[in-house]
């Protein structure tokens, strides 16, 4: 990142706004139909946007984190949609059709599933757990079983669900290593998949402290969006800490 920035800024020209979400804006590119321009915003939302906040530079920070993590995953042969970083808050990505499924992988129980079964936050799991949630603001992203996902035609076949599970577990393995190397335990995370023009399922969207639970290995301190959700304070400082630790360890590595 940072290198060839002027060259890249000239190569890609931002077109119309296609979609504005809670944390990102997606634009067309003027001369490339197969790509999109994704701009990360400074906003921070929780509980289906009922709680709102922001901090200056959050968009750039999450852009940088996503880019670094995708670069790492790419070197581990994980197929994803990212092509290049541009300006300070944006990424150029392959245009994919996002599958409206939030794929959550858990290494320990926390958040909604811990609460649902009245289990302790941080309860260990014998093996990572994959869960699916239907991406729908109107329905507040409900949990869906495999059969419900098929009934709703979120995906076409059980094989596709199995493929998504296997891919998500592979991503989990690499992310756990990447974070463990900087003293952070990956508790859980949410990812999304998109279909590219060849009909292939590839990893898409962000990977940031907004959609991961990250605990310091030594102190157990939370370094993720729970600081905002639960009013723990120092949100900006902890996001920055995650970035600094990952950057120092991984940015210059050929991994
Ligand atoms: N998550 C997310 N977007 C959502 C819901 C969850 O990125 O709409 C992430 C969340 O940050 C956590 C993981 O997915 O890292 C599991 O979230 P959980 O189901 O425990 O829900 P929560 O407690 O966040 O409501």
Ligand 1: atom nearest CA of 190 is 14
- Residue nearest (by alpha carbon) to ligand 1 atom 14: 190
DSSP notation for the chain? --TTHHHHHHH--EEEEEEE-SSEEEEEESS-TTEEEEEE-SEEEETTTTEEEE-TTHHHHHHHHHHHHHHHHHHTT--BSEEEEETTTEEEEE--EE-SEEEEEEEEE-HHHHHHTT--TTEEEEEEEEEEEE--TTTT--EE-HHHHHHTTSSS-HHHHHHHHHHHHHHHHHHHHHHHTTTEEEEEEEEEEEE-TTS-EEEES--STTSEEEEETTT--B-STHHHHTT-S-HHHHHHHHHHHHIIIIIT---
Kindly report the CATH number assigned to the domain that includes residue 229.
3.30.470.20
Ligand 1 nearest atom to the CA of residue 229, by list position: 24
CB of residue 122 inside a 6 A radius of ligand 1? no
Does 48 share its domain with 146? Answer: no
Per-residue pLDDT at 4: 63
> Which pLDDT value is given to residue 222?
98
179 and 58 co-located in one domain: no
Q: Are residues 137 and 213 in the same domain?
A: yes
10 located within any domain: yes
Mean pLDDT of 110-127: 97
Atom of ligand 1 nearest to the CA of 47: 25
CA of 191 from ligand 1 middle (Å) equals 10
Q: Assess whether 111 and 156 both reside in one domain.
A: yes
pLDDT at 174 over 90: yes
196-245 confidence digits (pLDDT tens): 989 999 999 999 999 999 999 999 999 999 999 999 999 999 999 999 99
Could you list the residue range(s) of the whole structural domain that residue 119 is in? 98-233
| CA of 32 relative to ligand 1 center, distance in Å | 33
pLDDT value of residue 204: 97
**What pLDDT score was predicted for residue 83?**
97
Residue nearest to atom 19 of ligand 1 (CA): 112
Residue 129 lies in a domain: yes
Chain segment 13-64, per-residue pLDDT in tens: 999 999 999 999 999 999 999 999 999 999 999 998 999 999 999 999 999 9
Please check whether residue 246 lies inside any domain of the structure: no
* Predicted confidence band of residue 122 (pLDDT cuts 50, 70, 90): very high
pTM for the predicted model, two decimal places: 0.95
pLDDT greater than 80 at residue 5: no
């Amino acid at each position: 990142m940072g290198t060839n920035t002027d060259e890249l800024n000239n190569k890609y020209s931002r077109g119309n706004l296609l979609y504005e979400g809670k944390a990102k804006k997606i634009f067309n590119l003027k001369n490339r139909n197969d790509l999109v321009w994704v701009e990360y915003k400074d906003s921070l939302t929780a509980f289906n946007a009922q709680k709102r906040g922001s901090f200056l530079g959050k968009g750039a920070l999450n852009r940088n984190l996503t880019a670094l993590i995708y670069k790492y995953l790419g070197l581990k042969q994980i197929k994803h949609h990212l092509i290049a970083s541009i300006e300070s808050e944006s990424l150029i990505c392959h245009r994919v059709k996002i599958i409206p499924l939030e794929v959550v992988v858990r290494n320990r129980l926390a958040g909604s599933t811990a609460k649902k079964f009245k289990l302790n936050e941080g309860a260990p799991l014998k093996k990572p757990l994959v869960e699916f949630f239907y991406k729908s603001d109107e329905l507040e992203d409900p949990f869906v079983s495999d059969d419900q996902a098929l009934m709703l035609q979120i995906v076409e076949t059980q094989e596709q669900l199995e493929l998504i599970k296997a891919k998500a577990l592979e991503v989990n393995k690499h992310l756990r290593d990447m974070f463990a190397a900087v003293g952070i335990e990956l508790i859980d995370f949410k990812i999304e998949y998109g279909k590219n023009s060849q009909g292939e399922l590839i990893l898409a969207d962000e990977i940031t402290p907004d959609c991961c639970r990250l605990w310091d290995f030594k102190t157990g301190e939370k370094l993720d969006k729970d600081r905002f959700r639960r009013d723990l304070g120092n949100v900006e400082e902890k996001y920055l800490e995650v970035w600094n630790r990952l950057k120092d360890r991984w940015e210059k590595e050929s991994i």
